[in-house]
Amino acid sequence: MGKLFFKMFNNIRNKKGVTMIFGLVIIVFAVLFTGFLIDTGMSFYVRAHFQTITDAASAAGAVYGGEAYHSPDDGVPLVRIRREMANSKATQVIQANEAFLPARERVRIERVTYNPDGEIINGRRMTHLEQYYASQDDANPSAHFTVRLAGRYFTLLFGRSFFGDTLSVNLSSDARTTVELDR
């Protein structure tokens, strides 16, 4: 096989322009590779930015909505995160941060979830609502506020500018803040 290929290649007598073709191929590959690396770097940067937004939103929601109270049944001191307050404050923080995202035209926040169902916290699978309230059974009563951000980064080289919304990088970040009772 190798011999046959060598023979075929050797039969092409006129080799004018071969260098130019190889040069063009190398340049095209170099440009594509450079674009790929730029997009990879940008997606890492946007992902890091997403994480700081999620952290800020989670802390804001938990602190703003966090409240210590006494159980109306037996007066046991407990803690909770008021859902409406926490969610609206976290939304406010996310929207304020969104304005400072890099490459705004190529980054999109698509979904924000507060306390997603099925989170496993301290070995227990919790529903959406359970996470806002501390359980009386816990030795250390604590409430949790998780923020999950999902979005997309549309690549520079292969993004919507060339082929429509074909190639994008999915980004997601999670942050959880726990509010504990100060005993």
- The structure tokens listed for 148 are 């999950």
Which of 26, 129 has the CB closer to other proteins? 26
For residue 156, the minimal CB distance to other proteins (Å) is: 11
Q: Helix or strand or coil: residue 145?
A: strand
Binding other proteins (rule: CB under 8 A), the pick from 23, 71, 140, 165 is 23
Which of 22, 69 has the CB closer to other proteins? 22
What does the longest C-alpha to C-alpha distance in the chain come to? 97
Binding other proteins (rule: CB under 8 A), the pick from 67, 102, 125, 166 is 102
* Residues contacting residue 110 through CB under 8 Å, at least 6 positions apart: 150, 151, 152
Binding other proteins (rule: CB under 8 A), the pick from 68, 82, 97, 109 is 97
The yes or no reply on residue 59 touching other proteins (CB under 8 A) is: yes
Which of 91, 172 has the CB closer to other proteins? 91
Q: At what angle do helices 18-65 and 83-98 cross, to 10 degrees?
A: 150
As a whole number of angstroms, the distance between CA 148 and CA 142 comes to 20
The yes or no reply on residue 26 touching other proteins (CB under 8 A) is: yes
As a whole number of angstroms, the distance between CA 66 and CA 61 comes to 8
For residue 4, the minimal CB distance to other proteins (Å) is: 27
Q: What order of strands is seen across the sheet that includes strand 142-154?
A: 107-114, 142-154, 168-180
Residues in contact with other proteins by the rule CB under 8 A = 19, 23, 26-27, 30-31, 33-34, 37-38, 41-42, 44-45, 48-49, 52, 55-56, 59-60, 63-64, 89, 92-93, 96-97, 100, 102
